[in-house]
Amino acid sequence: NTFALFSNYIRRNFQIRMTELSAQELCDIVGGELIGSTSVKISGPEQIDKAEKHHVTFIGNRKYLKYWDESKASVAIVNSNLKIEEDDTRAIIKVGNADLAMAKILEAYNPPTPVFENEIHPTAVVHETAKIGMGCKIGAGSYVGKDVIIGDGVILYPNVSVFDDTTIGMGTIVWSGTVIRERTEIGMGCIFHTNVSIGADGFGYRPAEDGRGLVKIPQIGNVIIGNGVEIGANSCVDRGKFSSTIIGDGCKIDNLVQIAHNCIMGRACIMAGHSGLAGSVTLGDGVIIGGSASIKDHTNIASGAIVGAGSGVMNDIEAGKTVLGYPATDSREMLKQWVALRKLGKQ
C-alpha cells in the first residue's frame, strides 16, 4: 500500500545518511569475537525478524535463536554462551552480554541531536542575574529566572522554564516543555525528557474546620536531584512540604511517573512507567519499581528490593526482597496464592 511504500522510502533514504560500518568495525566497538565474515556494510541495527541485509541484529536469549535461519541480517551479535549456526555469507560477533553490546552499537548509529544556530536564541528570556556557564545552549522561547546558576555545557531545548534560585550542574540536558520550579538543585549529567515537571507543589490538603471544603497545606521545600539522573517524558517530582524531595545519583525514571513530596530515592533506583510514590516514601539504593506499581505514603523500601508491576505496597519492604500483588506480599507467597486460585477455579 501507499503508506508501506512511503515508509520504505523514508527508511532507505534515512539509512543512506547513517553511518555504515563493517563487521570488523562493529566487533571492535563491542570488543567481541568475530566469527565468519560479510562484505555488506551495515547501516543500522534492527530486531531479528524485521532485519534486512544491511542490518546488524542481536541474540541475547535462547528463544531468539530459531529466528536466525530466516533472518535477513548480515551480522548478529550473540551471547557467547549460546550455540548458533554459522554460514559463509554472514558474520557472528560473540560477546559476554548482547544487551550491553547493543547499547554501544546504538550509540554508534545514534543520529545527531537538533542543531542550535545560536547558543542563546534571541527569543529566550534570561534574567540579568542568572549565571550561564561556558558552552551552554538555550533554545527559543525558554525562560531562565532570577539568580539561576547553570553549569558549563548545559542544554535547554526550546520552551524550557527554569525558575528563580535554581542550580543546574554541567552537562545536563533539558528537553522542551520541561518546567523546573524555584530553588531546585540539579546535579551534573542529568537528562530530563519532554514535559517533565520538577518542583511543583506537593499534594497536601486537609478538611476545613467548618467541614466545608478543603484547606491547602503550603509546600515550602524544594527538590534535590543528584548526578546522572534521567527522568522520562511527562513525569513529575513534587517539592517537599518542609525540606526536600531527593532523587539520588544515577536514578532512572520512566515516562508518566509520579514522585510525591518529601520522597527520598537512594542511588541507582529504577521506576517504570505509570508507577508512583505517595508522600514521604523512602527508597534505598538499587530499588526497582515495576510499571503501574503504587507505593503508600511513609513506606520504607530497603536497598535492592523489587516491586513487581501493578503491585500495591502498603507496608515496609526488607532489603533484597521481591514483592508482588495487591496488596503486595512476598513474591513466592503471592505466586502460591495465584496457583491456588487457579486450581480453585477449575474445581
Which of the residues are catalytic? 261
What is the β-pairing status of strands 276-277 and 294-295?
parallel
| Spatial distance between the Cα atoms of 223 and 19, rounded to a whole number of angstroms | 40
> What three-state secondary structure class fits 239?
coil
> What three-state secondary structure class fits 152?
coil
What are 271's strand-pairing partners?
Answer: 253, 289
310: its cell numbers: 501493578
Tell me the HSE value of 157 on the side-chain side, using a 13 A CA sphere: 15
| Spatial distance between the Cα atoms of 91 and 47, rounded to a whole number of angstroms | 16
* Most distant CA atoms of the chain, gap in Å: 83
| Spatial distance between the Cα atoms of 247 and 269, rounded to a whole number of angstroms | 9
> What three-state secondary structure class fits 206?
strand
For the sheet containing 33-36, what is the strand order? Answer: 33-36, 91-95, 75-79, 55-59, 44-45
- Nearest CA among 35, 14, 17 for reference residue 26: 35
Question: How would you classify residue 54: left for phi > 0, otherwise alpha for psi between -120 and 50, otherwise beta?
Answer: alpha
DSSP class per residue in 7-27: HHHHHHHHHHHS--B-HHHHH
DSSP-assigned letter for residue 62: G
| Spatial distance between the Cα atoms of 302 and 126, rounded to a whole number of angstroms | 42
| Spatial distance between the Cα atoms of 128 and 137, rounded to a whole number of angstroms | 16
| Spatial distance between the Cα atoms of 287 and 183, rounded to a whole number of angstroms | 27
| Spatial distance between the Cα atoms of 187 and 176, rounded to a whole number of angstroms | 19
